[in-house]
Structure 1
Amino acid sequence: MTKGWRPKAVALDIDGTLIDHDESLSPAVVDAVRRTAAQVPVILATGRSWQTTRPVAELLGLPDGGLVVCSNGARTLRYPDGEVVDERTFDPSTVIRSVRKHAPNARMAVEEHDGGYLVTAPFPDGDLGTGAGIRVVADEELAPEPVTRLIIRDPEQSEADFVQLAERLGLHGVSYFVGWTAWLDIAPEGVDKSTGLKVALAQCDLEPADLLAMGDGRNDIEMLVYAGLGISMGAAPDEVKAAADEVTKSVQDDGVAAVLNRWF
């Protein structure tokens, strides 16, 4: 990063970066994001579906016509109408069978086009956001067509258990991310948040070197490496901090605002 560098676009993860686990948005963060969005494109880059991302964009007051990257990079959409600019899908049937073999009690979900979910069993309250339609189906009905993501969840297992599960599944031809709980996100091969950000930056006629990105999860690593300046939140796992150029304060201490206030 050259002396005097200034971001021409900002990419922000949502959960654990903008919003704590209690779903609250700090006034200081909202103010900083709004000031930033008045000057450069602010792109939400999240594992959430469009349906649960849009309310956050509304709370932040993001300008109409901007872009959001959802489903860990598999979908890039225009805010607020939800126009799909780019979408990547895969056939999860092989992974579903492997999950049933190695984690028979795990719950699985796929995201539908409207932002709702098909699930094999109910997920813990709030796991899939609020307001999203959720329908319980049998394993064989989970993915009758290619999907943007497959979520695997087992509330009785630990994060470490799921790191091991990902290894046992022998995942080939897909990308995957272990979340901050016993949560595994399966995406199309080669797809991560940087995939959607490439699409979004091209729409804005900007380069990766122009981008400031902030995140806290393993699914943010590629985005942080891709950006001209990648900043990890203070409570992120060590491997996320190692991938970042800098580490800011935690979400509870308004780390996003502390960074944005440097330039905006």
Structure 2
Amino acid sequence: MGESWQPRLVALDIDGTVIRWVEGTGQDNEEIAPAVRAAVHRVLDEGGHVVLASGRSIDGMTSVVDLLGLHRGEQVWVVASNGGVVFRYPPVEVVHEERFDASEAVRAILAEHPTALVAVEEYGVGYRVSHHFPPGELSGTQIVADVHELVAEPVTRVVIRDPDATPEEFVALGRRLGLANTEYVVGWSAWMDLAPVGVSKASGLAKVADALGIAADETLAIGDGRNDLEMLRWAHRGVAMGQAVDEVKAAADDVTAPVEQDGVAVELARWFGPAD
């Protein structure tokens, strides 16, 4: 890949990539470094498309689109719920969603972690939850409901969270259970996202690229979490943040600086010129 190559589509994870993840504040922390915002706007100035791709719900992503100033008077594409939802904004227009029956997988997980918290997205509101999640971990309003009610109908995504467990325990749990017909990804904490088989940030981004008439070899993706693995492999150039776990770094084509050192800006400067 020569230095003359320039991506037409830049896919960015949010937490730990565009925004520094601050333990205890979670999605309440929405401060974007000036260098990152400036780098994103250089992409737009040169005719590129910037697409946010996150595990967040729709409601947790629109404020970040606004903070970055991505829309510039027209709708932009966004990939939410780890690829389960593709929408345009503003205003919110859901273009594609994937739903699945998560009841069996949830039952299997709760059998081993009976006190784990469960959440499903509720468009325009926030989440329906079995119990309230720790502050900042979910966007929008949390509506408490019986866990069986939460997964009684097909859903786009399920979050399983056990504050008393470790990420390693959840990784081992997913491997042990198999979770037939269900994709799963474990986050920085004991947090597991469940999705339909074949659905990931990569599948959502592929739909966006197709709609924009952009080929896979014209894409750049940057992320830091296990839910970015498919996205980093899908993109022509996949870049891991400097603080990412080794598994994510190994899947990437390159590693940029950590989020605390504006890694997104460092990577984008290679293709869209340095800051003035």
TM-score under structure 2 length normalisation: 0.92
* Secondary structure of the structure 2 residue equivalent to 1:262: helix
- How far, CA to CA, are the matches of 2:160 and 2:231 in structure 1? 22
Deviation at 1:126, TM superposition (A): 0.5
- How far, CA to CA, are the matches of 2:116 and 2:201 in structure 1? 25
Which one-letter code corresponds to 1:128 in the other structure?
A: L
Tell me the residue number matched to 1:28: 35
Tell me the residue number matched to 1:91: 101
Superposed counterparts of 1:183-262, under 5 Å: 183-262=191-270
Tell me the residue number matched to 2:118: 108
How many percent of aligned residue pairs carry the same amino acid? 48
Deviations 1:1-51 (A, max 9, x none): 355211111000000001012322111111111221232110000000010
Deviation at 1:143, TM superposition (A): 2.1
- How far, CA to CA, are the matches of 1:17 and 1:49 in structure 2? 17
Structure 2: gaps of 5 or more residues: 23-28
Superposed counterparts of 1:1-264, under 5 Å: 1-2=1-2, 4-22=4-22, 23=29, 24-38=31-45, 39-63=47-71, 64-114=74-124, 116-129=126-139, 132-264=140-272
Which one-letter code corresponds to 2:68 in the other structure?
A: L
User: 2:182·2:196 contact (CA, 8 Å) conserved in 1?
Assistant: yes
User: 2:232·2:239 contact (CA, 8 Å) conserved in 1?
Assistant: yes
Deviation at 1:144, TM superposition (A): 2.9
- How far, CA to CA, are the matches of 2:165 and 2:225 in structure 1? 18
- How far, CA to CA, are the matches of 2:95 and 2:146 in structure 1? 31
User: 2:59·2:123 contact (CA, 8 Å) conserved in 1?
Assistant: no
Which one-letter code corresponds to 2:114 in the other structure?
A: P
Deviation at 1:109, TM superposition (A): 0.6
Deviation at 1:263, TM superposition (A): 2.2
* Secondary structure of the structure 1 residue equivalent to 2:32: coil
Q: How many residues align?
A: 262
